Chain A
C-alpha cells in the first residue's frame, strides 16, 4: 500500500524540481498510484490555501525612502571619504594595512567566483557536458511530444508566460520576417537550473533556443562541434547565455543566431 515514491518525489514534482525524464515518469505514475495522486492533491490544496491568503508583504513606501536616505548618508555624492579619512586621524594610520587585507580578501573572492562562473577556467569538460545536456534536451523535446508549454507565434504572449515560472525574464523575439517564425516556449532544465526554451521553426525543422542569465556577463559566440547530425551554437549577450540546437544546416543556424543576436542585444538591458 505504501508507495515509496510518495515521500521522495511528490514534493519535487510539485515544486518543479524533478528533471525532465523523472517528471514524465511521475506523470505516468500519478495516473496509476492513488496514494501519490492523493498526496499531490493535498499539497496542491495547501499551496492554494497559501495563495488565497495572499500572505506576501510589500515594503512600505516610507521604508524605501528611509533606506535611500541612509545610503546617501553612507556614501554622499561628492565622495569626500578620500579627502578626510586618515589625515584627520593620524593615530589610526597603523590600521592602514587593513585596507590591504580587505583588498586581498576581495581578490581571493574574485578568484573563487571566477573559478565557479567562468567555464573556461575549469577546462573543456564543462562545456562538453553542457553541450551534451543541450543536445539531450533538444532531442527529448521533439521525441516526448513536449516541444512547447505555451504555443504561440506572438512574442507578447510567450514572454509573459515565463513570468513567475523563471527567476528571470528571457528576451523573446519573433523572427518570422526573417524566415524563422517563433512557435512557442517551454521550461527546461540545464546546467543545474531552470532555463527558458524558445522554439523557432525553419520550414519543417525546429530550433530550440535555451536561455538563462550569464553570471560572467561576457559577450561571445562559439560554434559547438556538430553531434549526431545536430548543429549547435552558444553565445552570450546582454547578461544572458544562449544555446541553440537544431537539425537545420550549419549555415542556416548561423544566420538565425546572427539575426537573433542583433535583435536581443540592444534591448535586453
Chain B
C-alpha cells in the first residue's frame, strides 16, 4: 500500500470524482447500499494502483476501475442479471408524414418513467448512456472506460437510445 503522502495526493486528485464514481456504480448496481460498497472498494483499488498512474484523464481512469469493480460484483452477486442479447436488431417504427407522435411521447415523458426505462436497459446500454448523457464523456473516453473501440461505443449508444425511445413509447402508450 502507498504511504500517507501519496494518500493526500490521491485524495486531492481522485475524491473530486466521487460523484461520478458513485453515479456509475449506482446505475450499474441499481441499489444504494451496493453502490456505496462498490464505490468504496473501487477507491481502495484505485489507491493501490495510484503509483502506477502517470497522468492523463483522471475521471476516465477512475471510472474504468469503478466499472470493472461493478461487473466483478455483479457476476458474483447477481449472475442472472448480466445476460445481454448482443445481436439484437433495431426495429424503428417509422410512421411517415404528419405530426411526429414519437416526439410527443418523448416530450411528455415524466421523471419516473424515464428513470424506470433506463434502469431496465441491459447494463452495457445503461452504462454508455450514463457516461455520455450524465457525465458528458466523449466517445473516446467512453471507449477507454469500457475497453472497447469507438465504433462499438457508437453502435451501443445508438442501440441504447433506440431501445430507450421504444420503451418510453411503450410505457407512455399504455397509460394513455
Label chain A's interface by main secondary structure.
helix
C-alpha gap A11/B139 in the complex (Å): 11
Interface residue? B148 (CB, 8 A)? no
Interchain CB contact under 8 A, B2 and A75? yes
Interchain CB contact under 8 A, B103 and A74? no
22 A-B pairs, CB-CB below 8 angstroms? A15-B132, A15-B139, A38-B100, A42-B106, A46-B106, A46-B161, A49-B114, A49-B168, A53-B115, A57-B26, A58-B22, A60-B22, A67-B40, A67-B43, A70-B43, A75-B2, A79-B3, A106-B51, A167-B57, A167-B141, A194-B138, A215-B56
Interface residue? A17 (CB, 8 A)? yes
C-alpha gap A79/B5 in the complex (Å): 9
Residues on B with C-beta less than 8 A from A17 are 138-139
Known contacts A45-B107, A63-B22, A215-B55; can you find 12 more A-B pairs with CB under 8 A?
Answer: A15-B138, A42-B103, A48-B107, A49-B106, A50-B114, A57-B27, A63-B40, A71-B43, A75-B4, A75-B47, A164-B136, A167-B136
Residues on A with C-beta less than 8 A from B137 are 167
Q: Which of A109-117, A141-149, A203-211 contacts B (4 or more CB under 8 A)?
A: A109-117
Number of interface residues of A (CB under 8 A): 55
Q: Which residues of chain B (150-168) have a CB below 8 Å from chain A?
A: 154, 157-158, 161, 164-165, 168
Interface residue? A59 (CB, 8 A)? yes
Residues on A with C-beta less than 8 A from B21 are 59
Q: What residues of chain A have their CB less than 8 Å away from a CB belonging to chain B? A: 7, 11-12, 15, 17, 38, 41-43, 45-60, 63-64, 66-68, 70-72, 74-79, 81, 105-106, 109-110, 113-114, 117, 164, 167, 192-194, 215-217
